[in-house]
Amino acid sequence: MKCPEVNSSIESYYLTPDSNEPKQKRLKDGSRFWAVLIGIDEYPHKPLHGCVADARSIQEYLNEDLGVPNDHIKCLLGHQETPLTSSPTHDNIISALYGLVDNPAIANGDNILVYFAGAGTRYDAKECFHEDVKPIDAICPIDRGVDLTYDISLREINGVFSQISREKGATMMNTLILDCGHALPAGCP
């Protein structure tokens, strides 16, 4: 049985502080969405399965359900057939993130999604600092450990989001989705 056709636009309501009743109906415009989608299966030492497929599913949702144009979505997919320019290397991930800052078409009020499916890690910050600081969580690019290539900390990603908000406007809707795990140090829940 085929599913019935559904209107692909997103309708949302907002509530005013004085009432629980919706005051205005808004229609989301897919052209106001921007995304960087990263999926990595082919890590050299420990391959994963399904990360590239998950990133492609997010792209399909953005395109088909939300009407986001393809040129608003940057995909970095890590599998054997990936050309180097769209491989999720450290440099390509950082370039894609800062591309959101530098893109003149992205305006105040636009929606930005960064989706990462792959390996994550956690570093004990006490090894790096003499102070008692919280652990550093990071995502792992496909080329981690090659020629002194480092992981990308969530603090760095947060810095990019902060820069986007400063340069594009405070009403940016920045969303980070991490579909990854990391090994916790011994004794952590």
Q: Over the stretch 138-148, which tens digit does the pLDDT of each residue have? A: 999 999 888 87
DSSP state, 53?
H
Q: Over the stretch 43-93, which tens digit does the pLDDT of each residue have? A: 988 899 999 999 999 999 999 999 999 999 999 998 766 666 789 999 999
Looking at the DSSP bridge assignments, the partners of residue 40 are 78
Alpha-carbon gap, residue 24 to 155, rounded angstroms: 36
Q: Over the stretch 110-147, which tens digit does the pLDDT of each residue have? A: 999 999 999 999 887 776 666 677 788 999 999 988 88
- Tally Cβ neighbours within 10 Å of residue 66: 18
DSSP state, 119?
-
Helix (H, G, I), strand (E, B) or coil at 120: strand
Instruction: From residue 3, give the alpha-carbon distance in Å to each of 8, 46, 55.
Output: 14, 39, 23
- Tally Cβ neighbours within 10 Å of residue 81: 7
The answer to whether residues 107 and 168 touch, using CB atoms and an 8 Å cutoff, is yes
Average pLDDT, the chain: 81
Q: Over the stretch 25-46, which tens digit does the pLDDT of each residue have? A: 334 689 999 999 999 999 988 8
Alpha-carbon gap, residue 164 to 37, rounded angstroms: 17
Identify the residue with better confidence: 22 or 65: 65
Which domains, and CATH codes, for the chain? 30-179 (3.40.50.12660)
Q: In the structure encoding, which two tokens stand for residue 107, read together?
A: 């305006």
The pTM score is 0.78
For residue 77, the Cα-to-chain-centroid distance in whole angstroms is 13
